[in-house]
Amino acid sequence: MRLSCVLLCLLLCAVGVFAQSGRGTILGTVTDPTGAVMPEVSVAVMNTATNVKSTATTDELGNYRTPYLIPGPYAVTFEKEGFKSFRRDGIVLVLDATLRIDAQLAVGAVGQSVEVVANASLLETETSTAGTVVPNVVVVNVPVWQRWVNTFAYLSPNVKPSTWSGSLSNISVNGQRAKATTFNFDGTSAQSPDSNTDTVAPSIDAVAEFKITTEVPTAEFAHSAGGAINVFIKSGTNEFHGSTFYFNRTKALRALNYFDRGQPPNWNFTQVGGTAGGPIYFPKLYNGKNRSFFFASYQGTRHPYANPRVWSVPEPRFLNGDFSGYRQIYDPDSTTLNRTTNVWSRAPFAGNQMPVSRMDPVARKAGAYYPAPNQTSTVNPWGPSNNLIMNPVYSFDLDAIDWRLDQAITDNSKLFLRESWNYQRGRLPLVVKEPAAEDLQYHYPSHRASWTLGHNQTISSNKFNEVRLGYMRRRYQVWPVSKGQGWASQLGIPDPGTPNFNLAFPRFDISNGIYPLGPSTARLDIDQLQENIQVTENFTFVRRSHTFKTGYYLERIRLSQRGPGAGGYSPSGVFCACPLT
């Protein structure tokens, strides 16, 4: 359990410091036909997909700003008595962007208007933030492996997979370690406390925009010495929209590798799901157009796949003491010392065959769970090597649900709630026979969820406040197939009175590269719970051309794990080897 509190220092900087919250800002300056600045101009910034407005008034320098806007299409309208109204359409605000929209009002009646339809430049001119925004049209339509949203990080310069892991969640930015990259959903942390990788995998069809910042993020976001990934989940609009999808890739579309031996491996990848969004509407009770919106998505992944592997296993004749053809073994009971030469010696077993009566019955019972080799062993005098080729079928199932609610309380007060939920399970195949399965044969169900509750308030034309509450939870369970079956006693191993003696099949780590028996002694039965509770508040005050920003970030991290260990055995060839002189 850990409590960390980061108090953000008071920042004095240029206009436009609203990045990294999962929102955007539109700001600008209004002038008259002579170029003089115009105070007290009414500014309305409207999301044209929802008709939700944010209002502002220019200050004595003619400046205005509207922060905490969700990404999407916008129109800005400027009005002042004695001047024609001016409307700018076709503005597209992307994730964490700060756009400058200036206006020059012409003399005339307010009833007269000037309308300009043109796309605003997406070039960041108000902040020094360096990063890459991937819009929804790219997120949805570009084919990526397993439709994993983090893959889009590699579209940005100086981003690559971590050198120590090929996982899509281990992303290195600017040469930093993967654990220096932070993951955020809608402005709150969504990363694992122990590995610092992302916890929840949203459906690509639920992602409005994806951004990776390739510089050290601002003080608002902890945990990062490298880059920051921010994923913004879609919100509903004034129109009902929905989609369904089905993706499938079979073994017929995969190339063979060397170990497939001419037969396509068992491999299938299927994803199905859909999305729905729009205004919250209950006939005769409530019409949420222009105020209340919902969005929801589901994605189900089913991925059984074969992975050809090569292992080293004992030959069946070893259980009868026949080690002919390999390095000579010796009788440990014949060990003698020549006191004249001070040299130890042992008598070799005739024909390199050990009498069955001399073999440990526990070893013979445990060794019977090895599969028979199906390939000729490579040359190795110490024992068989690379003599088992298997094409085991792994299973990977993942269900992902994302939903979001948005409420415009007033023009200057907005509220949203978002949840992303994953349920992952699978089973890795058996190499040795049950119950002597090693680590790769565990069940591993995992429940993961992330919630964000946010409220944005424009207190006045120069005072703004933002509050975000975040909660992340991940439960991970692992257990071996032999759990609770008393196998140590069944094999004939005397109980030494230690805890967890009979928890699972005993572990046997055999020398010379032979595949082990039993689960790892450190991973017998894991039940891990991770929780992360966050509270963030940012208050901004604007005075003329200066912006003051202060706030706090509170985080409570809990990481608990129950995982009893048990003993293991590491036999070597020292007792049957020729003794050292």
Q: For residue 75, list its beta bridge partners.
A: 46
> Can you list the alpha helix ranges (DSSP code H) found in 410-523?
487-490
Whether the upstream peptide bond of residue 435 has omega within 30° of 0, thus cis, is yes
- The two structure tokens encoding residue 553: 């970030």
Q: Which of 563, 536, 564 is nearest to 194 (CA)?
A: 563
Q: Which of 521, 518, 452 is nearest to 481 (CA)?
A: 518
Backbone phi and psi for residue 98, each to the nearest 5 degrees, phi listed first? -125, 110
**Would you say residue 94 has pLDDT above 70?**
yes
What fold is seen in the domain 21-117? Answer: Immunoglobulin-like (2.60.40)
Angstrom distances, CA of residue 317 to CA of 264, 311, 353: 32, 18, 10
Residue 373 and residue 388 in contact, taking contact as beta carbons nearer than 8 Å:
yes
**Would you say residue 427 has pLDDT above 90?**
no
Rounded to 10 degrees, the C-alpha dihedral 158/160/163/169 comes to 130
- Please state, rounded to an integer, the average pLDDT across all residues of the chain: 81
SS3 445: coil
pLDDT at 22: 65
The pTM for the full model equals: 0.79
- Mean local confidence (pLDDT), 329-357: 89
pLDDT at 465: 94
Q: According to the per-residue pLDDT averaged within each range, which of 117-121, 158-162, 460-464, 483-487 is highest? A: 460-464
Residue 182 and residue 228 in contact, taking contact as beta carbons nearer than 8 Å:
yes
**Would you say residue 440 has pLDDT above 80?**
no
Q: In whole angstroms, give the CA distance from residue 535 to residue 469.
A: 5
- Mean local confidence (pLDDT), 326-347: 88
Residues 6 or more apart whose Cβ sits within 8 Å of residue 354:
321, 323, 329, 576
Give the least confident one: 40-44, 120-124, 334-338, 382-386: 120-124
Confidence at 13, pLDDT banded by 50, 70, 90: very low
DSSP letter at 37 equals B
Looking at per-residue pLDDT, the higher value among 516 and 169 belongs to 516
**Would you say residue 199 has pLDDT above 60?**
yes
**Would you say residue 443 has pLDDT above 60?**
no
**Residue carrying the six token digits 């990526």:** 144
The helix (run of H) or strand (run of E) holding residue 474 is strand 463-478
Q: In whole angstroms, give the CA distance from residue 322 to residue 311.
A: 21
**Would you say residue 286 has pLDDT above 90?**
yes
Bridge-based pairing of strands 2-13 and 546-562 is antiparallel
pLDDT digits (tens, 9 = 90+) for 543-581: 877 888 888 888 898 888 777 666 678 887 777 787 764
Bridge-based pairing of strands 72-79 and 42-47 is antiparallel
pLDDT digits (tens, 9 = 90+) for 139-150: 777 877 778 887
- Mean local confidence (pLDDT), 342-359: 91
pLDDT at 188: 84
What is the DSSP code string of 337-400?
EETTTTEEE-PBPGGGB--GGGS-HHHHHHHTTSPPP-SPPPS-TTS--S-EEE-PEEEEEEEE
Residue 229 and residue 287 in contact, taking contact as beta carbons nearer than 8 Å:
no
Single-letter amino acid, residue 112: Q
Q: In whole angstroms, give the CA distance from residue 536 to residue 3.
A: 14
Q: According to the per-residue pLDDT averaged within each range, which of 188-192, 330-334, 524-528 is highest? A: 330-334
Residues of the chain with pLDDT > 90: what percent? 30
- Mean local confidence (pLDDT), 222-251: 85
pLDDT at 281: 92
What is the DSSP code string of 83-139?
B-EEEEEEEEE-TT-EEE--EEPPBS-TTSEEEEE-PPP----S----EEEE-HHHH
- The two structure tokens encoding residue 335: 């060990």
Terminal Cα-to-Cα distance of the chain (whole angstroms): 54
DSSP letter at 274 equals E
pLDDT at 530: 87
pLDDT at 488: 84
Write out the residue limits of the CATH 2.60.40.1120 domain(s) in the chain: 21-117
The helix (run of H) or strand (run of E) holding residue 140 is helix 136-141
pLDDT digits (tens, 9 = 90+) for 56-69: 999 999 999 999 89
